[in-house]
A and B are shown apart, each in its own frame.
Chain A
Amino acid sequence: MSTPLLSVCRLTKRFGGLVAVDALDFELASGEILGLIGPNGAGKTTTFNMIAGAYAPTGGEIRFAGAPIHGLPPHEIARRGIMRTFQHNMPFAGLSIADNVLVGAHTKFRGGIGGILVGTARRDEAEQRRRAEEMIAFVGLGEAVGVPVTALSFGQGRLLEVARALAGEPKVLLFDEPAAGLTPGECERLAGIIRGIAERGIAVLLIEHDMRFLLPLAGRVVVLNFGRKIADGPPEAIRDDPAVVGAYLGDPAAAHAGMRERR
């Protein structure tokens, strides 16, 4: 494996007495698709939120391209090249599809307010608008352009989330349960898009509930239970891991056995 682009080291988050994420370690390389799974309350979303900057960790480190990024606000994380999608689609309702995607390219605009006033920002605008159209075509929303975002189907809204995040030319793309609420057909289409994203050299971190969606897609899977990593490996190995099966089927003995084995 090449040098990690994103590395998470002994990452911990406590909410009062509850340890939501406990000394979590994993690494993510360019072009890799890493799945992060676990039962409800395992700490997936908390981990996701710490990487995306929504929460500051209680302990541990998150490094991106060698530099620590934990505790930075979300807009700084995005500026560095880590973009995200939302589980519950969060479009900008008052903006067109193209403008939604262009907001994703926000950090690509050079020159400040002065550039807008003297008119030099127009060249950037034209270039980014062209790129936004590419992204819209890439996710397959080309036909829907011109439709108000509020009129998009749930699946199309998810695709818009992806196009918007891609417009920021991310090095890491975080997906928060991308298959949630999608039809099987839409899931398949989205899986193809995610593969295409990884082929572009973007590191993909998928938080997912749906094993049938994740296992064929991910190159590697990290499994969380009660905030701890209980498995880390290729999907084939994860599927048969007794600790994982135990965690999902609710057998605490098996889950703990798995954890002890690994330590």
Chain B
Amino acid sequence: MPRLVYYLAVIAVLAALPFFLASYQGDVYRKMLLWVTLALGYSFLFGIAGQVAFSHFAFYGIGAYGVVILWFKLGVPLPLAVIGAIAVCAVLALVVAIPATRLEGFYLALATLAFAQLLIVVLTEGGEVTGAAAGIQRYALPAIFGVRLTGPYYTAVIVLLLVGTYAILSRLERSWFGRACRAARDNSEAAAAMGVDVARIKVIAFTLTSTLAGAAGIVYAFVDNGVAPTSFDIDKVFTLLFMIVIGGSGRLAGAVVGAVLLYLAPFVLEPYIGHHHPLVYGCIMLAAILFQREGLIGVFDGVRRRFARARPRSMELAA
């Protein structure tokens, strides 16, 4: 029970925050929450399951386009369109995962990168269905009980998505499944000898995290009430990668820290360095790889360990 109270409190605070922000800041805040959601799933896929896949952002796009095409273009009722878009993501993820997870490291990276690039081509060349380069614009959620879910009110939807994603991933992480994912990542031969069906675990991890990215895409579709191919460009997934590496790969808390910091960095740095923030990203990324492999969360762990060690020693002295 206390866990549920904790979750509800977090949801309430995160959802209420934009009412105290200016409209532009609120918009930045909502997009930041979406990045955090994506980073959580990517951290599981890349860090815990050890799959160097670059298709995560593509599934975000598939979710977004999926729901808008089903609902706005084909006239499917919204709840069904949402379920349909999730199903499309899950099926596509499975279709990609079954051959792709048999590939290792570099080859998986190439295959998923090709998939992400293919999606951009399909979206840009999709004519009437995808709205080509301009995408699909000017739709809006219908009012529910007279309330238009836009602006600060829509934040609640994003927060539910974020907290739901976190709850699912943290449960998986602390279970036999998370352990099997890590074991397969560290040594697939030993994992198999312990009874782990490595291929199956990899497919499930890929499909699940990709579907969660798709769900985030569905929610994203109604943030700006417009989708365009440029929103899902191939470079976005590298920003996700920077976020989880700088925050601490394979750690959900690290994904949150990394996503918040890197998403807000350009806004904070803009007055000083204009649009040169990728330069800063690159330097921080290099520093993380060279000096702090466990990312910022690793720094935090180190400090906490030091305190944990210091305490019993001081008690010894007292005794």
Contacts and interface: CB of A to CB of B under 8 A. Distances in A.
A23 to B, nearest CB: 26
B187 interface: yes
Nearest to B171: A116
Contacts of A99: 179, 182
Contacts of B240: none
Interface stretch (A12-20, A28-36, A101-109): A101-109
A121 B175 CA distance: 8
B185 A103 contact: no
Contacts of A92: 182-183, 186-187, 190-191
B149 interface: no
A138 B190 CA distance: 21
Interface stretch (A63-71, A73-81, A195-203): A73-81
Given A92-B186, A94-B250, A95-B183, A84 B193 contact: yes
The SS class assigned to the A binding surface is: helix
Contacts of B14: none
A78 B171 CA distance: 26
Interface stretch (B83-91, B101-109, B194-202): B194-202
Contacts of B192: 73-75, 78
Contacts of A255: none
Given A92-B186, A94-B182, A116 B172 contact: yes
Contact of A104 (B171, B194, B197, B204): B194
A2 to B, nearest CB: 26
A125 interface: yes
Give the 5 A-B residue pairs with the shortest CB-CB distance, closest first: A78-B195, A107-B195, A90-B190, A92-B186, A74-B192
Interface of B: 168, 171-172, 174-177, 179-180, 182-183, 185-187, 189-198, 204, 208, 250
13 contacts: A74-B192, A75-B192, A75-B195, A75-B197, A83-B194, A90-B189, A91-B186, A95-B182, A103-B180, A103-B191, A106-B194, A109-B176, A125-B175
